[in-house]
């Protein structure tokens, strides 16, 4: 998999022939320094961006299908149902409260009628997830009223809302202090143990990477050790 | 920012709706009032008048599409009012019953006795007392004082006569005048739009006026006789809504005006007669001219009313044809000659809309309305641009949120719809507020105008120019719907490009946006 960005007149290659595979139920850590292309890799995996087309076989394969062959609607559905994103900077919607931020990923792609039908069940699941992450008492709080750790737990709950096949976490502890970061990681690992959740965690922190089943090292857009 | 957009949409919608309603309402009421005072089609021939008009009217009324006809005379004159006031006016001579049948003028008579309501009894008694003691209406609270006219007050004016209603028919009745309510400077308007006399003794139906007219000869020139004056008791006053009519017209019986203007039927004498005296059997006998016929009575116009369901435009050619037939019976060269048919077809027969003076005015108002709407439509584009700018800024501000929504599966269409829906809500809110604002302003435009006039000392709506004493204050639902739907569409249009921009954002870049 290759990915090159164009900056003005200059082509900047970010990924130069990355070839990795993730098994179902596996937790893979992508370890790399800043600028090594690990976030780009995650965006490509999550269908937020498309890799360069090098040959017929290059690209991302998800359960035997190439993401490149997905229609725009299928790609949207892939992001909604198959993938859950957790970002370093949480990326919560500031106007919404904790419960709404969690529910928003369930609302996406549904019309009013189907949402009305599923709202009660979704709310129940969101509350269950938030309770599990210790936020049961903060459902009506807005994200600005939360600490960094709490915000990241809301982001994880949102990512898990649609029970995705793949959880993609981009530096999930990168913006947190060590203790809070460890708590977040504990929560994620506990979840993995319980639900056998497939995960790709991008990090520059070896301690975080060590919690994964497998570590992929990325240097200058290439996998140096798998 | 969204609040700003709502305000912009509301103001633009209100502005356009107010202008359109006032100008359009003005034109509508103008057309309606104009028709009520002058009938559907007019046959007019200046000062010389139309002879044998009764024959013309009979011929017209034989046609199934023509309902009624009536003769009138319109001439310039002067009126001498009580308290030494005098002014130039238009004296209109009519046959009351026929004129009423054609124009429905009796509905426009202002002073009439109405059933006093029980709950207004105390006030009614006070007013009755005041009237008996030389009423001072100006001290009364603003209200329709007509409700309070004393029991004995008769509705005069329908027959243009005043007299004792208990007297036997025809006895003791005399010709009277009915004036436009604004002819007399002594009538004031209350805040509620009702007229009342400014001071005791100013109630015109209690007074007499003197009218002065200038008779013309049969060729339309001045006579050596000079002016003719005559005193008329005032039977009533009328209000048509047309300022020029209400401030200028005095209606009197046709026969009286014909007499004053020497347009009545007279004996014709030998034109070769030499005045002088002869000795006959030793006695001096003054020569008398030989009567060789009669000169017919004349009127300056015949008003025609179409049958119910027939338009003025439909009967105009019929009237022209009948007039041509009539003119053929009265060939030129005699005192009985009718005005030339060809000339009359071109200049003398017209529908009320084409009446000289009115036609230019109607066109003027119509083009002014279009021009003003065009200007305001351009101004309204400002609202579109403003919404565009606001939404552009909003999309920029929400770039990261767009990235978040895309990352959780939000489709491009969904993102675009999100902003378009926002534009729609702003449009609907703005249109609702603007529509309400416009409705309140239009319904209260007259009190508002009075307040502004009071504040600035300058009347913005000059009745002398706009002909109407009151600014139209009706909102037409059709116009309101067009303006409000346009406001919503403008708002959505303004949000369209920013919405497309949001939809096409690269989610990765959007997520990295700071």
* Residue B142 banded pLDDT, cuts 50, 70, 90: very low
Confidence of residue B122 (pLDDT cuts 50, 70, 90): very low
Measured between beta carbons, the chain B residues lying within 8 angstroms of A87 are 407, 511
Q: Are B65 and B315 in contact (CB under 8 A)?
A: yes
Q: Does the beta carbon of A72 lie under 8 angstroms from any beta carbon of chain B? A: yes
Helix (H) or strand (E) holding B7: helix B2-38
Residues of chain B contacting residue A110, judged by C-beta atoms under 8 Å apart:
none
Q: Which member of B401, B404, B411 has the closest CB to residue A73?
A: B411
Q: What is the mean pLDDT of residues B300-329?
A: 90
| A120 or B452, greater pLDDT | A120
Domain ranges of chain B: 2-29+360-512, 46-61+72-112+155-254+265-304
Measure CB to CB from residue B409 to each of A79, A87, A93 and give the nearest one.
A79
DSSP string, B431-475: HHHHHHHHHHHHHTHHHHHHHHHHHHSS-SS-HHHHSBSS-----
Residues of chain A with Cβ-Cβ distance to B409 below 8 Å are 76-81, 105, 108-109
| Alpha-carbon Rg for chain B in angstroms | 33
Binned at pLDDT 50, 70 and 90, residue B118 comes out as: very low
Average pLDDT over residues B188-203: 72
What tens digit of pLDDT does each residue of B386-398 get?
Answer: 889 988 998 998 8
pLDDT digits (tens, 9 = 90+) for B410-461: 899 999 998 999 999 999 999 999 999 999 999 888 888 888 877 887 766 6
DSSP type of residue B350: E
Q: Determine the average pLDDT of the residues in B232-248.
A: 83
Closest residue, chain A, to B508 (C-alpha): A48
- Our CA angle for B353, B358, B360, nearest 5°, is 100
Look up residue B506 and give its DSSP letter.
Answer: -
CATH of the domain at A29: 3.40.50.300
Whether residue A34 lies within 8 A of chain B, CB to CB, comes out as no
Give A67-108 pLDDT, tens digit per residue. 888 988 899 999 998 999 998 888 999 889 999 999 998 998
From chain B, the residues in CB contact with A73 under 8 A are 411
Cα dihedral B152, B158, B162, B164, rounded to 10, equals -50
| pLDDT, average across residues B294-308 | 89
Rg (CA), chain A: 18
CA distance A214 to chain B (A): 25
Q: Do A48 and B409 touch (CB under 8 A)?
A: no
pLDDT band, residue B145 (cuts 50/70/90):
low
Lowest-confidence pick of A113-122, A168-177, B360-369 = B360-369
Q: Domain count of chain A?
A: 1
- B384 contact partners, CB below 8 Å, separation of at least 6: B490, B491, B493, B494
pLDDT of the residue at A217:
92
The answer on pLDDT for A174 being more than 70 is yes
Q: Which residue has the higher pLDDT, A179 or B222?
A: A179
Q: How confident is the model at residue B133 (pLDDT cuts 50, 70, 90)?
A: low
86-125 in chain B: CB under 8 A from chain A: none
* Residues from chain A contacting residue B508 (CB–CB below 8 Å): 43, 48-49
The Cα–Cα gap between B102 and A171 comes to 91
The pLDDT value recorded for residue B143 is 47
Inter-helix orientation angle B96-103/B2-38, to 10°: 150
A111 touching chain B per CB within 8 A = no
- The mean per-residue pLDDT over the stretch B471-481 comes to 85
Of B323, B421, B392, the closest CA to residue B55 belongs to B323
Residue B423, C-beta contacts closer than 8 angstroms, at least 6 positions apart: B387, B391, B491, B492, B494, B495, B496, B499
Per the CB < 8 Å rule, is A158 touching B405?
A: no
Name the residue among A43, A49, A76 with its Cβ closest to that of B409.
A76
Q: What is the pLDDT of residue B498?
A: 93
**Tens-digit pLDDT profile for residues B65-76:** 999 999 999 999
Q: Cα separation of B260 and B12, whole Å?
A: 57
Is the CB of B418 inside 8 Å of chain A's CB atoms?
Answer: no
In this prediction, residues B259-275 reach a mean pLDDT of: 82
What is the bridge-based pairing of β-strands B298-299 and B50-51? Answer: antiparallel
Per-residue pLDDT at A128: 92
Q: Which region among A132-136, B1-5, B59-63, B111-115 has the lowest average model confidence (pLDDT)? A: B111-115
Listed range (A70-74, B68-72, B301-305, B473-477) with the worst mean pLDDT: B473-477
pLDDT band at A41 (very low <50, low <70, confident <90, very high): very high
Give the global pTM.
0.62
**Would you place residue B111 in the very low, low, confident or very high pLDDT band (cuts 50, 70, 90)?**
confident
Output the pLDDT for position B319: 92
Q: Which domain holds residue A144?
A: 2-225
pLDDT for position B148: 53
Can you spell out the DSSP letters for B63-81?
STTEEEEEEEEEEEEEEE-
Is residue A60 within 8 Å of A51, Cβ to Cβ? yes
Residues of chain A contacting residue B509, judged by C-beta atoms under 8 Å apart: none
Task: Answer whether A175's CB lies under 8 Å from A89's CB.
Answer: yes
Region B355-370: mean pLDDT is: 78
Q: Which residues of B433-470 are buried (b: 16+ CB within 10 A; e: fewer)?
A: bbbebbbebbeebbebbeeeeeeeeeeebebeebbbbb
- What's the confidence (pLDDT) of residue B5? 84
By the CB < 8 Å criterion, does A105 face chain B?
yes
Please count the other Cβ atoms lying within 10 Å of the Cβ belonging to residue A100. 19
Q: For the residues B111-123, what does the mean pLDDT come to?
A: 50
Q: How far is Cα B262 from Cα B297, in angstroms, rounded to an integer?
A: 9
Cβ contact A213:A8 at 8 Å:
no
Query: Which residues lie closer than 8 Å to B433 by C-beta, 6 or more apart?
Result: B6, B10, B14
pLDDT digits (tens, 9 = 90+) for B85-103: 899 999 999 998 888 888 8
The C-alpha torsion from B346 through B352 and B356 to B358, rounded to 10°, is -150
Contact, B60 vs B305, CB < 8 A?
Answer: no
Q: Which helix (H) or strand (E) holds A10?
A: strand A10-16
Closest chain A CA to residue B418? A108
β-bridge mates for residue B278, sequence order: B285
User: How far is residue A19's CA from residue A224's CA, in Å, rounded to a whole number?
Assistant: 11
> Does the beta-carbon distance from B408 to A77 stay under 8 Å?
no
> What confidence score (pLDDT) does residue B256 get?
92
Q: Do B411 and A109 touch (CB under 8 A)?
A: yes
pLDDT at B158: 66
**β-strand partners of B212:** B78, B229
Q: What is the pLDDT of residues B149-175, one digit of tens each?
A: 555 555 566 667 776 666 665 566 788
């Amino acid at each position: 998999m290759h990915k090159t960005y164009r900056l003005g007149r200059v082509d900047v290659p970010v990924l130069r022939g990355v070839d990795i595979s993730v098994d179902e139920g596996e937790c893979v850590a992508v370890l790399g320094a800043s600028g090594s292309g690990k976030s780009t890799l995650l965006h490509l995996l999550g269908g937020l961006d498309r890799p360069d087309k090098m040959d017929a076989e290059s690209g991302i394969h998800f359960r035997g299908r190439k993401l490149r062959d997905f229609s725009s609607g299928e790609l949207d559905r892939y992001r909604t149902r198959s993938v859950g994103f957790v970002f370093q900077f949480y990326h919560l919607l500031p106007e919404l409260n904790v419960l709404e931020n969690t529910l928003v990923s369930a609302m996406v792609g549904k019309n009013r009628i189907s949402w009305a039908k599923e709202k009660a069940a979704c709310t129940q699941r969101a509350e269950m997830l938030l309770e599990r992450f210790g936020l049961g008492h903060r459902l009506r709080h807005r994200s600005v009223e939360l600490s960094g750790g709490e915000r990241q737990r809301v982001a994880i709950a949102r990512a898990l809302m649609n029970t995705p096949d793949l959880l993609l976490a981009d530096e999930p502890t990168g913006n947190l202090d060590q203790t809070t970061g460890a708590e977040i990681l504990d929560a994620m690992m506990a979840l993995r143990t319980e639900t056998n959740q497939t995960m790709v965690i991008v990090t520059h922190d070896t301690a975080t990477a060590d919690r994964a089943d497998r570590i992929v090292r990325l240097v200058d857009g290439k996998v140096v050790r798998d | 920012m969204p609040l700003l957009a709502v305000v912009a949409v509301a103001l633009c919608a209100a502005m356009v709706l107010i202008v359109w309603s006032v100008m359009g309402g003005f034109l509508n009421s103008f057309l309606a009032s104009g028709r009520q005072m002058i009938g559907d089609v007019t046959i007019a021939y200046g000062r010389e008048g139309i002879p044998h008009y009764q024959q013309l009217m009979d011929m017209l009324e034989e046609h199934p599409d023509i309902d009624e006809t009536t003769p009138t005379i319109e001439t310039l004159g002067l009126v001498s009012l009580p308290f030494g006031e005098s002014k130039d006016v238009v004296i209109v001579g009519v046959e009351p019953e026929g004129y009423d049948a054609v124009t429905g003028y009796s509905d426009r008579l202002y002073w009439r006795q109405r059933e006093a309501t029980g709950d207004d009894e105390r006030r009614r008694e006070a007013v009755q007392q005041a009237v008996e003691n030389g009423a001072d209406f100006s001290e009364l609270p603003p209200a329709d004082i007509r409700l309070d006219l004393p029991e004995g007050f008769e509705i005069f004016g329908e027959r243009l006569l005043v007299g004792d209603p208990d007297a036997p028919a025809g006895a003791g009745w005399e010709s009277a005048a009915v004036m436009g309510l604004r002819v007399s400077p002594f009538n004031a308007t209350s805040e509620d739009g009702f007229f009342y006399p400014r001071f005791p003794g100013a109630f015109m139906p209690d007074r007499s006026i003197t009218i002065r007219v200038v008779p013309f000869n049969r060729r339309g020139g001045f006579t050596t006789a000079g002016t003719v004056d005559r005193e008329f008791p005032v039977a009533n006053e009328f209000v048509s809504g047309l300022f020029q009519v209400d401030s200028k017209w005095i209606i009197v019986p046709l026969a009286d005006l014909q007499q004053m203007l020497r347009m009545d039927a007279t004996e014709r004498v030998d034109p070769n007669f030499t005045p002088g005296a002869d000795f006959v059997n030793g006695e001096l006998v003054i020569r008398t001219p030989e009567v060789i016929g009669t000169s017919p009575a004349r009127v300056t116009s015949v008003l025609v009313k179409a049958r119910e369901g027939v338009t003025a435009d439909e009967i105009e050619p019929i009237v022209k044809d009948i007039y041509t037939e009539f003119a053929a019976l009265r060939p030129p060269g005699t005192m009985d000659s009718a005005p030339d048919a060809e000339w009359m077809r071109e200049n003398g027969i017209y529908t009320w809309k084409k009446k000289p003076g009115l036609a230019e005015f109607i066109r003027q108002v119509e083009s002014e309305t279009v021009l003003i709407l065009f200007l305001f439509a351009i101004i309204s584009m400002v609202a579109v641009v403003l919404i565009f700018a606001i939404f552009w800024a909003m999309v920029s501000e929400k770039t990261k949120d767009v990235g978040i929504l895309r990352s959780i599966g939000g489709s491009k269409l969904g993102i675009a719809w999100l902003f378009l829906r926002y534009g729609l809500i702003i449009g609907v809110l703005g249109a609702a507020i603007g529509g309400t604002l416009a409705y309140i302003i239009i319904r209260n435009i007259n009190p508002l105008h009075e307040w502004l006039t009071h504040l600035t000392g300058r009347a913005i709506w000059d009745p002398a120019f706009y002909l109407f004493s009151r600014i139209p204050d009706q909102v037409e639902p059709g116009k309101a719907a067009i303006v409000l739907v346009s406001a919503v569409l403008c708002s959505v249009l303004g949000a369209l490009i920013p919405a497309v921009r949001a939809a096409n954002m690269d989610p990765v870049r959007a997520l990295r946006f700071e």
